[in-house]
Amino acid sequence: MAMLHIVNKSPFEKTSFGSCLNHAKAGDSILMIEDASVGAIKNSSFSNQLTSALTDKKVYVLGGDLAARGIDKSRMIDGIEVVDYAGFVDLTVNNETTQSWL
């Protein structure tokens, strides 16, 4: 069963994002919403961790949250996909379960 992991915390402030990456399985999907969207940027202290997650998991970011925090899509780590709320809904449909890392 594939799981959609929803993260809403900045990896620079809380441990939730790191904990999510430590527990997500190969084939799972990770969606960054709210403050977690800042984790999508390249060349940060967190980007190596997220890049290695991309080897066997899919990573998505909610575009509205990213834009609201002033991060242009061109600054994102390669391989991260931008979705809107409709895409968020699709992710919950296409994964059997969801877990929110609050």
**Which spans of this chain sit near another protein (rule: CB under 8 A)?**
1, 3, 6, 8, 15-16, 19, 22-25, 28, 33-35, 64, 84-86, 88-89, 92-93, 96-102
> By C-beta, is 47 or 92 nearer to another protein?
92
Q: How far is the CB of 14 from another protein (least distance, A)?
A: 10
Q: Find the shortest distance in angstroms from Cβ 48 to another protein.
A: 19
Cα(25)–Cα(38) distance, integer angstroms: 22
Q: To the nearest whole angstrom, how small is the minimum distance from the Cβ of residue 29 to another protein?
A: 13
Q: Which is nearer to another protein, 51 or 92 (CB)?
A: 92
Residue 74 corresponds to which tokens in the numbers above?
A: 């061109």
User: Of 39, 47, 31, 48, whose CA–CA distance to 14 is shortest?
Assistant: 39
Residue with Cβ nearer another protein (52 or 100): 100
